[in-house]
Amino acid sequence: MGGIANAATELRVGAASNIGGMIVFVAQDKGFFAKNGIDAKVVVRSTGSALTKSLNAGEIDFAPAAFTNLPVALEKGLKLRGVVGYLGSSFTKPTHDSNVGIVTRSDSGIKSAADLKGKKVGVTFGSTVDLYMREYLKKNGISIKDVNRVNVRPPSLVSILDSGGVDAIVAWEPNLTLALDKVKGSKLLSRGGDYICFCAVMHGIPDKVYKDRKRTQAFVDAMSEAAQYLRNPKNADDVAKIGSRYVKAMTPDLVKRTVKHVVYDARIGGGTTAAFNFSVKQLIASKKMEKPFDPAKYLDTSFVENTMKRHPEWFSDLK
């Protein structure tokens, strides 16, 4: 939707410093924001919770947060409106976690889920990978109390595994693949498995979303076109170079090997509602939430539906 704004409109867009943020990095690097009259500034944070804090503090205008932790903030009163997909296949299925997994050291003696009992496992507390670990253990009949969880910031996960500070780590990409590359003899114990929905949409404070609807529509258009560019195999080399420029410690080769584990789909709809509710049930079961939260109070499909109507070519390769 080129030329939606007569003059460039400033917009601060948040993204996580991992492979999930590629949709934002591509939208900026390939000029999709500029094409729509947006003067975008990309703000990178290490986790979704850090992005939410920055959003709430007014430091950024739009940001993502995974369904595995966002509903907790919504229940506590944080007012947000999700307008366009960021990562994950929530539009078509309620679970997606192929970019998350568990890596073990060669000397840990861990060869199965049962072997995690009594072991030190590095994980970022309160994050998506924390919930992944809990669900993985539960499905394998292991109590979370049987595992020695160590709280580790995402940038330190690979180094603490390499130094022997923990026997295993639970991580998202690119740390998952980086650990396998850098820690001699490390093994992949688990990848994905549909334990959780590592899904997220881009959201903003209602005042920011609706005060300038044209700007929000332009933002959704840019994100949708960026997602389509990401999915096109012909752009693989270019996407790899973009990722290496925006994400610390990522080389073009590493981007290529990790981006395939992530789904970039800008659509939100009934499937997204189902995925949101799936995560809420898990959060209630783990006593992080008290009761269900109506996803209609969070998701606004009108902007992306507008985009889909005007630009079906950006979605024609999707199911």
Identify any residues that bridge with 38 across adjacent strands, giving them in sequence order.
9
pLDDT single digits (tens) 114-168: 999 999 999 999 888 998 999 999 999 999 999 999 999 998 999 999 999 999 9
pLDDT single digits (tens) 10-69: 899 999 888 889 999 999 999 999 999 999 999 999 887 889 889 989 999 999 988 988
pLDDT at residue 210, rounded to an integer: 97
What pTM did the predictor assign? 0.88
State whether residue 185 is helix, strand or coil. coil
Q: Which of 202, 286, 270 is nearest to 27 (CA)?
A: 202
pLDDT at residue 3, rounded to an integer: 41
Residue 304 has which token pair?
Answer: 């992306």
Domains and CATH numbers, the chain: 9-95+198-314 (3.40.190.10), 100-191 (3.40.190.10)
pLDDT at residue 8, rounded to an integer: 60
Mean pLDDT along residues 293-301: 96
Helices and strands, counts by H and E, the chain? 13, 10
pLDDT single digits (tens) 242-260: 999 998 878 999 999 999 9
Q: Are 319 and 92 in contact (CB under 8 A)?
A: yes
CA torsion sign for 177, 179, 181, 185 is: negative
